[in-house]
Amino acid sequence: MAEAAKELADARTLTDEEVVERVCKGERALYELLMRRHNQRIYRAARAIVRDPAEAEDVMQDAYVRAYENLSSFAGRATFATWLTKIAVHEALARVRRRGRFVDAEDFMPTLASDAPDPEQRASERELGAALEDAIDTLPDQFRAVFVLRDVEGLSTAETAECLGINEETAKTRLHRARTILRARLLSRAQELLPGTFSFGESRCDRLVANVLAQIAGG
């Protein structure tokens, strides 16, 4: 156990790509480092699509196992973080499509204003951070995924488009519409809280990492 901890500590300065190379050469324990580095982003990306924290964790676990099984196919054409996020996005989208939940936002754009809950009432009833998460959750599915990856997680437009399998112009349009909707509610008051939304805490991180490592070892 101590030896594994030292191995992880010594590898913390390595880039993702260097860690991937070493994992592929047999240093399987180092995969934990990749998970811990990217848990927050992968959780946010998955939750933006499935909208349920528990299911988002299931998506993460499946994505990490799938990424591990296909690690040798990582070619470095995109960053490892983008490659991993794309796997998680595809898994999340597959789940909601099986339930028929992921619909094209343009189909119901005219109803958005009338259906939206009042943001001031929401902000007065709960902590601003929780209200912001609720507001993000009310975005149409397509807009929410772009917004979370681009504005909350801080990916570039190109990375966001790559992860979601859309072109950059579509990503820009959906981001603009998401910001417009949110600005009418909470965004002007909560900009500084964005980095803390949909946080993936330490205990959840530990549990997920342990589950994935156990599944990998069992395979």
71-113: per-residue pLDDT in tens?
A: 999 988 889 999 999 999 999 999 998 887 554 444 333 333 3
Which residue from 36, 34, 8, 33 is spatially nearest to 200, judged by alpha carbons?
Answer: 36
Region of 32 please: left (phi>0), alpha (psi -120 to 50) or beta: alpha
Sequence-ordered list of residues with C-beta below 8 angstroms from that of 41, at least 6 positions apart, any chain: 81, 85, 153
Q: What is d(CA 33, CA 16) in angstroms, rounded to the nearest whole number?
A: 9
Which of the four pLDDT bands, split at 50, 70 and 90, describes residue 122?
Answer: very low
pLDDT tens by residue, 128-165: 677 778 888 889 988 999 999 999 999 999 999 999 99
Encode pLDDT of 7-65 as tens digits: 677 778 899 999 999 999 999 999 999 999 999 999 999 999 999 999 999 999 999 99
Please tell me the total count of domains within the chain. Answer: 1
Residue-level pLDDT at 63: 97
**Start-to-end Cα distance in the chain:** 21
**CB count, 10 Å around CB of 92?**
27
Length of the chain: 219
Query: Residue 197 is part of a domain; what is its CATH number?
Result: 1.20.140.160
Q: What is the dihedral of CA 129, 163, 47, 136, to 10 degrees?
A: 40
**Average pLDDT estimate for 169-188:** 86
Neighbours of 41 (CB within 10 A): 22
pLDDT band at 192 (very low <50, low <70, confident <90, very high): low
- The full 3-state SS of 156-182, as one line of letters, equals CHHHHHHHHCCCHHHHHHHHHHHHHHH
Question: Which residue segment(s) compose the domain that 92 sits in?
Answer: 2-218
